[in-house]
A and B are shown apart, each in its own frame.
Chain A
């Protein structure tokens, strides 16, 4: 394989990887705070993608409106799901919560199939053009995707580490009861976490459409699962971990595809997940959790 092809594949991998990383952040934040594997997260991306599609392809709105619409709808949807489905089950066994999340995920997917139709909706890419660096051509979309996601991750780190809301989120994820005693509003903090995670999913949807400009009802499930794999790989609950995991999975996929095994791409991702779970369940940067008797 020539050097320029390898670089091109790596850039491709980074582009997909940064979408995974953004989505993985949502998983990671929600998991950190209520220990829920939010299966519906991937499907929020799907809804966001449809919003972009309708705004641009059907109503010919400017891209910026489409982006705001996608992020806004995703955020609202995330908070709505949390309020309707997860809040009543906050003290229920974890298994019930997980099954509810699976139920919501399938509700969104099948609901979208009824409302939007089962076929793929293709649109023109929002960002076109390439940037040339010597003999290597990089698509503009890739550059924008990578830059935007890195910027968002820096912003998110700032919010979580430096603001009062971030402090509350960290406190709740550490000890829910104690945080409540310190006067932190549990409902508000958890809703805020869902809102932020879902907003990231909305951004992820926009960036995903830059790379693959088509929306379908089931696009979210595989994307969501791969993002979850990224979150686990990087260490669930950790923001830089999600980023590293996302990039790693993206590059892995690109390399497997470049080696001529693109049909085995999904299997490779799951294999990595299984190996990580078996030998280092806490991922690269995760904290070790002691089991209490």
Chain B
């Protein structure tokens, strides 16, 4: 029997149409539920931001096999960079006038600036930090994350003018993160991660996780790939921060505490380190569930941490392990199975 094999363009068409379908579905839900729709929209946007955060941490945590604890720091840098840019542009007046088309270039530039600034910070932190491993890497990234927060809180007194507005918070940021912006950016981020991981660079990153010494001995420049993955992850976290700033409208350094990094880490670990699907599922569940069960919110962090410990003891691989879902492969499998059954019947 000849096995059916989907060509790459066909796979892209399938995935793109499914993505568009998901967007239509989400906007219909938001539109159809009227007043509650605004509330749902908020949850959906938060879910999207958390998906970017979790999958970007998964690049370093799951694919590269390191444990950084400063992810919130990159998110903070991206958020402040994007917010300060947006405040400097006439975006707020455009937004009030409802001129969405003229807003688009500003949004794109803000996101790129966030990615760039977070990437620069990722590079500055990654080069020294990635010389260390395991616990030391964890603690040094934690240190950097905390330094970023302290600097964001106190930088104004050094600069002598209002830049980040310190602990009192950066307010009146144009709220540009609509459902569409969130959806397109999230889809793009996931696509970028997927493409990166399927390329030879992605395989090099995976080989470093599996055995760094062996990877080095077959000629992979481990320092380069470690730094690349780290910077890539930081850039995406910056993008997530930019979306967050545009959704929430005001930024406080205390949002980006160590606790935030751990929240993101919980999503990655529960979903399965090394599985994009796992990160996405746990980002969706862990964001939507506490929102749906308001009474439960007091216990949220207790349950998170308990889940983390139990997961490590009983299922250290996480929900999905390193399994990743591919629509194309699934369709192939189904079609092949049907054909096989038909052939058996014909005989």
Contact = CB atoms under 8 A, between A and B. Distances in A.
A266 B265 contact: no
A88 interface: yes
B309 A98 contact: no
Interface residue SS majority, chain B? helix
A160 interface: no
A103 B314 CA distance: 14
Nearest to A93: B316
Classify the secondary structure of A's interface with B.
helix
Interface residues of B, number: 40
Given A37-B135, A102-B262, A106-B301, A267 B150 contact: yes
Interface in B278-314: 298-299, 301-302, 304-306, 308-309, 312-313
B139 A232 contact: yes
A94 B134 contact: yes
A229 B153 CA distance: 22
Contacts, number: 109
B142 interface: yes
Contacts of A5: none
Interface string A163-190: 0000000000000000000000000000
B153 A89 contact: no
Contacts of A263: 150, 153-154, 157
B264 interface: no
Q: Which among A110, A111, A221, A278 has the highest number of chain B CB atoms within 10 Å? A: A110
A221 B262 CA distance: 13
B135 A98 contact: yes
A interface bracket (residues with beta carbon within 8 Å of B):
35 or more
Interface string A82-99: 000100110011111111
7 contacts: A92-B316, A94-B135, A97-B312, A99-B308, A107-B302, A113-B301, A274-B140
B268 to A, nearest CB: 10
A270 B146 contact: yes
A37 B139 contact: yes
A104 B309 contact: yes
Contacts of B135: 35-37, 94, 98
B338 to A, nearest CB: 41
Contacts of B262: 102, 106
B308 A106 contact: yes
B138 interface: yes
A273 B312 CA distance: 29
A44 B18 CA distance: 50
A267 B305 contact: no
B316 A96 contact: yes
Interface in B120-156: 128, 131-132, 134-136, 138-140, 142-144, 146-147, 150-151, 153-154
A95 B67 contact: yes
Given A228-B139, A266-B146, A270-B146, A103 B306 contact: yes
